[in-house]
Amino acid sequence: MDGWDRAKARTEEFVGRTEEVVGAAYGDAALEVHGEALRLQGEVEEDARREAEREAEEAAAVRKRAAAAEALRRGETAPED
């Protein structure tokens, strides 16, 4: 998820929460529910972005460990960062 997608997700959270509050204040259940849906969608997108970043970091760490193990197996010095 790039910066634009992250901003979109955060904006959906904010707009959704605003609609929830306005809907509750004016007794507009449809607006309140729509706001909650937007907020939840933004949260899900943000969580997915964080999970993808975490998985990418873990994969990079695994590749680095594998390269170091292979270098040691061949009797070479482990690669540096």
pLDDT of residue 81 exceeding 70, the answer is no
* Global pTM exceeds 0.75: no
pLDDT digits (tens, 9 = 90+) for 34-69: 999 999 999 999 999 999 999 999 999 999 999 888
CA distances (Å), 80 to each of 35, 63, 68, in order? 49, 13, 9
Distance of alpha carbon 78 from alpha carbon 66, whole angstroms: 10
For the chain, domain boundaries: 3-73
